[in-house]
């Protein structure tokens, strides 16, 4: 497991500052150790890159175990539990093979598009008609299918991520409050959400809140008396 990032400090608790690379390494290690039952979880060579851009709230992951987190996202976390949920969300994308699922979905949709264009060309052999059909199909599919599928994967990663964080002894009630203040897509606007790749924060919070009983059960079953947990507790708000 390797971690790279800026030297600037991350303020997770009032005046107490910790180095992003150190805290992220400890969080990832704790989540992986407590969830070693996940098939292939411990075999992945995790590589985390922290980009020093406090203005941008963004994180991404690849199926290879590479994660990129902008420092603005870390600064948005009020405590260790919220940071653990953020990281667990990205880990969930990886172990659930969401990149592969998204690629397969795009391939299927593209094939359907080719079939539609070929059928139209058969009846109306016009380059202009085929061109506009292609543009219309891509725009419609992006909104009705691709965006919707992306939101589905994000909510799945939210649910699995919460369970991973809870199993790793992080407080699920405090963790889900991340979606109460994260400065991304906050408004519960059904029309706007229709054009987004991620669900709104309010919807994400409500879905995770409904999972709290299961998350609390996992949290109580974890071996939280480990030395690692004791070290992490001092950073919690």
* Residue 66 parent element (H or E): strand 66-70
Q: What is the pLDDT of residue 74?
A: 81
Contact 52, 69 (CB under 8 A): no
* pLDDT by 10s per residue, the chain, length 237: 443 333 333 444 443 444 566 778 888 888 888 888 777 677 788 888 888 888 888 888 888 888 888 888 888 888 889 999 999 999 999 988 888 888 888 888 888 877 877 887 788 887 777 777 777 777 777 676 788 888 999 999 999 999 999 998 899 999 999 988 886 655 555 666 777 888 888 889 999 999 999 998 888 876 555 444 454 455 444
* Residue 227 parent element (H or E): helix 227-233
Residue among 110, 101, 187, 199 at smallest CA distance from 148: 199
What's the structural domain count of the chain? 1
| C-alpha span between 92 and 120 (Å, rounded) | 41
Residue 116, helix vs strand vs coil:
helix
Q: What is the pLDDT of residue 19?
A: 59
Contact 235, 47 (CB under 8 A): no
Q: What is the pLDDT of residue 2?
A: 40
Domain limits for position 76: 2-233
- Give me the phi and psi of 69, to 5 degrees please: -130, 125
Contact 170, 228 (CB under 8 A): no
């Amino acid at each position: 497991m390797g971690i790279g990032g800026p030297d600037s400090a991350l303020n997770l608790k009032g005046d107490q500052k910790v180095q992003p690379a150190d805290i992220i390494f400890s969080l990832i290690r704790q989540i992986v150790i407590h969830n070693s039952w996940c098939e292939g979880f411990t075999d992945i060579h995790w590589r985390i890159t922290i980009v020093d851009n406090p203005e941008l709230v963004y994180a991404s992951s690849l199926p290879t175990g590479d994660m990129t987190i902008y420092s603005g996202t870390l600064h948005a976390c009020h405590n260790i539990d919220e940071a653990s949920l953020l990281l667990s969300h990205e880990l969930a994308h990886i172990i659930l093979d969401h990149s592969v699922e998204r690629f397969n979905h795009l391939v299927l949709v593209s094939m359907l598009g080719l079939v539609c264009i070929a059928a139209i060309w058969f009846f109306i052999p016009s380059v202009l008609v085929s061109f506009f059909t292609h543009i219309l199909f891509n725009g419609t599919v992006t909104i009705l299918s691709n965006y919707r599928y992306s939101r589905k994967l994000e909510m799945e990663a939210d649910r699995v991520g919460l369970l991973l964080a809870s199993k790793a002894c992080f407080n699920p009630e405090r963790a889900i409050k991340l979606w109460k203040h994260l400065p991304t897509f906050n408004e519960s606007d059904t029309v706007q959400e229709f054009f987004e790749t991620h669900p709104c924060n309010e919807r994400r919070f409500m879905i995770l809140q409904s999972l709290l009983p299961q998350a609390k059960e996992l949290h109580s079953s974890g071996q939280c008396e480990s030395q690692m947990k004791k070290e992490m507790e001092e950073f919690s708000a």
